[in-house]
Amino acid sequence: MGEGVTDLEEGDHVIITWFQPCLRCSSCAEGRTWVCDNASSEGCLLPDGSTPCARMTERPSLPRRGLHGGVRRRPRHALVPISREVPFDVAALIGCSVVTGFGAVVNDAGVQAGRSALVIGAGGVGLSLIMSLVAAGAGKIIAADINPEALALAEEFGATHTVLSNGDLPDTVREITGHGVDYAFEAIGLPETIGIMPDCVRRGGKAVIVGLPPEDAPVSIDALALAEQGKTLIGSNYGSTVPARDFRCWRSCTSAAYCRSIG
Ligand SMILES: NC(=O)c1ccc[n+]([C@@H]2O[C@H](COP(=O)([O-])OP(=O)(O)OC[C@H]3O[C@@H](n4cnc5c(N)ncnc54)[C@H](O)[C@@H]3O)[C@@H](O)[C@H]2O)c1
Report the distance separating Cα 60 and Cα 156, nearest Å: 31
| Whether pLDDT at 42 is above 80 | no
Domains identified in the chain and CATH numbers = 13-95+241-261 (no CATH), 105-240 (3.40.50.720)
Tens-place pLDDT, residues 79-94:
888 888 888 888 888 8
Confidence (pLDDT) at 92: 85
Residue 23 pLDDT > 50: yes
Alpha carbon of 244 to ligand 1 centroid (Å):
25
Task: Please give the pLDDT value at position 66.
Answer: 53
Q: 165 C-alpha to center of ligand 1: Å?
A: 14
* Global pTM value: 0.87
Residue partners of 4: CB distance under 8 A and separation at least 6: 76
Section 22-32 average pLDDT: 88
Helix (H, G, I), strand (E, B) or coil at 173: helix
- pLDDT, greater one: 41 or 107: 107
CB 25 within 8 A of CB 37: yes
97 lines ligand 1 (CB under 6 A): yes
**pLDDT band with cut points at 50, 70 and 90 for residue 119:** very high
CA of 259 to the centre of ligand 1 (A): 27
Residue predicted with more confidence, 129 or 49? 129
Mean pLDDT of all residues in 39-67: 52
